A and B are shown apart, each in its own frame.
Chain A
Amino acid sequence: MNIIKEFKIPIIIGIIYLVLAFWLSDTAERSFFVVIDYAKEMVFIIPPVFILMGLLEVWIPKDKIQQWLGSSSGLKGILISFLMGTLPTGPLYVAFPMTAALLKKGASISNMVIFLGSWAALKIPQLLVEIKFLGGAFTLLRFVLTLTVVVVIGLIMQVLLKESHDKAWLENV
């Protein structure tokens, strides 16, 4: 019973794939190629990201992170988080463990929300594609509005999670 509980979601996904393979073999085939595509990307991107995280953990001292990205880092912290996020460093899911490592080292919640938001929505290579297909005005307006919204969300979450931030959660990670 325990095994079923632990692998509930993978089992459900597996069953859906099987059903698709019989009923909608076109969809199943497309899904299969998508999986291969994403798996290829992961194989290249995940190992270096985790090694960089390890290096960050051993080399960068806590007080430095606190100083650059902590709750009293102000505008400088926001700017650093934003710039780190816009670097072409891969899909969002590799940013989560990185963010957790930075939070543990003393980065503020608002800065990490800004970091994740910029990573997801304001990446430089992504912007170039956007300009090409949707035009400069669209891209510029979306950039400005998104940056504003992300900073606001960061500040709101900083206030909301300040009291009840699950530090215990992070210690377990």
Chain B
Amino acid sequence: MVTIITIYSILAFCLVFSFWKNRQKTFKAFKIATKGFLKTAPSLFMLLGIVGLILGILTPETIERLIGKEAGFLATGVAAILGAITLIPSLIAFPLAGSLLRSGATIMTISAFITSLVMVGTITAPMEIKSLGKKFTLMRNGFSFLGALIIAAIMGVILQ
């Protein structure tokens, strides 16, 4: 809700300003927007299909079973991979992480899950490749995964 309000307020402000300054340029902006949208639309549909599948299969209960109680590095690795391949909204991810923590998962495992969830986007990679190229995407996500593991290790040690 906050997101929608913010984005539409910014849009309204910019549009009013743009129309007032130069009508022609504003229409041109709309044209560019339509063109950009049509180019991205197919990959958006794909994204929808894949997100549906992954979240349908990996329910919070399944994730809890996979990384819940068993401590150790294996659980942390599994958590990092699960975080990388899923795309869970923060309103679901953080409560889930909180309940995992209470049910016995280690801080390191939870950090690995959360950091790789927010930093690595396997599902969104096809879209990222389309906009920014293969090299950029692979590098950014690869380094981010590595970074997520490092962050998890540091957090596990500090917050123990």
Contacts and interface: CB of A to CB of B under 8 A. Distances in A.
Contacts of A63: none
A34 B52 CA distance: 5
A166 B56 CA distance: 37
B115 A96 contact: no
Contacts, number: 215
B51 interface: yes
Contact of B51 (A38, A57, A157): A38
Contacts of A156: 143
B48 A35 contact: yes
B151 A53 contact: no
Interface of B is mostly: helix
A54 B11 CA distance: 11
Interface in A45-87: 45-55, 57-59, 87
A35 B11 contact: no
Contacts of A47: 33, 37
Contact of B3 (A53, A90, A164): A90
Interface of A: 9-10, 13-14, 16-17, 20, 27-32, 34-35, 38-39, 42, 44-55, 57-59, 87-90, 92-93, 96-97, 99-100, 103, 109, 113, 116-117, 120-121, 123, 125-126, 129-130, 132-134, 137-138, 141-142, 145-146, 149-150, 152-153, 156-157, 160-161, 164-166, 169-170, 173
